[in-house]
Structure 1
Amino acid sequence: MDKEGRSEVTAGLLPIVVISVQVLSKVGDSGLLVAECPPGFQVREAIWRSLWPSEELLATFFRGSLETLYHSRFLGRVQLYDNLSLELGPLRTGDSGNFSVLMVDTGGQTWTQTLHLKVYDAVPKPEVQVFTAATEEAQPLNTCQVFLSCWAPNISDITYSWRREGTMDFNGELRSLFSNGQVLSVSLGLGDKDVAFTCIASNPVSWDMTTVTPWESCHHEAASSGKASYKDVLLVVMPITLFLILAGLFGAWHHGLCSAGKRKDACTDRALPETESAVA
């Protein structure tokens, strides 16, 4: 619980107000709203209310009797303790809001405390994508410039941080982009093949992380932009070679067929004049 400010007890029967008390929790957990009163304040009555987004009666304490059966959006999720603190849970999305407790002592003096409950979603495991920069002539050989992008889906109020894992002799440059640290720029060398980077996504009540080894993407890019592998050669060259062989065989067969037809036509042409001479 984070307390930002509190007014002091004043003399007489004037109402005393305590404000700016914040309670943080997450969906699925419980939120404890602690009731505090000045020393010597003997509580006779206490009333817990939800002020925003709607005003509802949540629980009461009257002459030693605790009551939490009031119809409200927290019905069945309210627990009032003997110290007059109120527990809400399990919490749901949209349970954030302002709450107050009004306490009256045996002398008729009042003490009002206002609290703000903020409910966050639990941070899921973030997704990390690795992008490699285009190779430039000015870039040193055997280096790889990568950008690591981290993102936790469907969550607000997220901040990102990065942690380097692996060897201690990391020679690359580490630079975070954007104010929330969502993108990391890294320059890697041959000695950084085993260096991993962890993205930590967090909000005020939860966190999760994902670790990647970016050199694997660099190696993949280098292989795709450099010489083809033996399997790549087979996959490309063999179909072309087979096509050329089949085309050659078809051409030879077609040429032989045409040659045989031409010879047959020539013999026919020579036999025709001899026949005509005999008839004449």
Structure 2
Amino acid sequence: MFWILVVEGVCLPLRRRMAVWSLWSLLLWGALLPAAVTGTQVQGQVGGSVLLVAECAPGFQVREAIWRSLWPSEELLATFFRGSLETLYHSRFLGRAQLHSNLSLELQPLEFGDSGNFSVLLVDTGGRAQTQILQLKVYDAVPRPVVQVFIAVPGDDQPPNTCQVFLSCSAPNISDITYSWRQEGTIDFSIESQGLFADGQVLRVSLGPGDKRVAYSCIVSNPVSWESATVTPWESCHQEAGKKKNVCADRVAPETENPLV
């Protein structure tokens, strides 16, 4: 005799009934278990890939695994059940998620809206379960910054043949970035904080005739990439005080987007 089970309008053979029940029980179990927030943070870049690693305790032999997206919406992404890897679920990661044999989940190509929380529920052969929470943050690639050179109006107390310059650095249309400066050709790249303003975007320097070839670089960075632009400010000192010069092509050497190491 051949028995069947109807699940959501689909007829399933009896031999698959226990498998279906077991999978749905596992899904329900994962929903009822308290979230074990581990604080694991993962960073990725738009257009790149990221690997969400499922970590197991020593001696924990995984029998089933479920990957889910928790925020901004809860979605089923991939499962490992009875030796079968499955990622064909209709989530926003459809076609961009791959479950590897070590049960780590790879997402690519990344989009800016992919930032959020993910969970993986692991059940071992003895019935023990553990849940991991991973926080993914996706960043845009840092663009090449633009440097503006401002020449200050000379004051009565300013030494002769000197030039007070303000260097302003900006990276258009991007957030979550950090600004820093370095003086090229020196062993110590650090810049004294007294000369920095606007969270590091503006640098004030005093130049003399001996600084004609001194170059300064503005570095903009986020956790996954960085870019820089270099300017020789003395070249602007002969201009009328109070005017500015846009600098975006003056570099020591051509540079492209670089990952942080």
Q: In the alignment, which of 151, 173, 178 is matched to residue 132 of structure 1?
A: 151
Cα deviation 1:39-98 (Å, max 9, x = unaligned): 111111000000000000000000110000100000000011111000111101111000
Q: Is the 8 A contact 1:167 1:194 kept in 2?
A: no
Q: CA deviation at 1:166?
A: 4.0
Q: In the alignment, which of 99, 102, 106 is matched to residue 118 of structure 2?
A: 99
Q: Is the 8 A contact 2:35 2:133 kept in 1?
A: no
Cα–Cα, structure 1 residues 64 and 173, in superposed 2: closer, same or farther, change >3 Å? closer
Separation in 2, partners of 1:142, 1:103: 71
Separation in 1, partners of 2:60, 2:116: 27
1:79 and 2:88 correspond? no
Q: In the alignment, which of 155, 170, 178 is matched to residue 151 of structure 1?
A: 170
Unaligned runs of 5+ in 1: 1-13, 225-280
Unaligned runs of 5+ in 2: 1-32, 244-261
Match of 1:108 in 2: 127
Q: Which has the higher contact order (CA 8 A, sep 6+)?
A: 2
Match of 2:136 in 1: 117
Cα–Cα, structure 1 residues 151 and 43, in superposed 2: closer, same or farther, change >3 Å? same
Cα deviation 1:6-61 (Å, max 9, x = unaligned): xxxxxxxx989351000011101111100001111111100000000000000000
Q: In the alignment, which of 202, 217, 220 is matched to residue 183 of structure 1?
A: 202
Larger proportion of helix: 1
Q: Is the 8 A contact 2:88 2:94 kept in 1?
A: yes
Cα–Cα, structure 1 residues 214 and 112, in superposed 2: closer, same or farther, change >3 Å? same
What TM-score comes out, normalization by structure 2 length? 0.75
Match of 1:203 in 2: 222
Match of 1:29 in 2: 48
Cα deviation 1:203-256 (Å, max 9, x = unaligned): 11110000001001102237x9xxxxxxxxxxxxxxxxxxxxxxxxxxxxxxxx
Q: Is the 8 A contact 1:152 1:201 kept in 2?
A: yes
Q: CA deviation at 1:135?
A: 1.3
Cα–Cα, structure 1 residues 88 and 110, in superposed 2: closer, same or farther, change >3 Å? same
Shifted more, 14-23 versus 208-217: the winner is: 14-23
User: Structure 2 counterpart of 1:64, which letter?
Assistant: G
Separation in 1, partners of 2:195, 2:125: 59
User: Structure 2 counterpart of 1:199, which letter?
Assistant: C
Q: In the alignment, which of 160, 165, 185 is matched to residue 184 of structure 2?
A: 165
Q: Is the 8 A contact 1:166 1:194 kept in 2?
A: no
Identity of aligned residues (%): 75
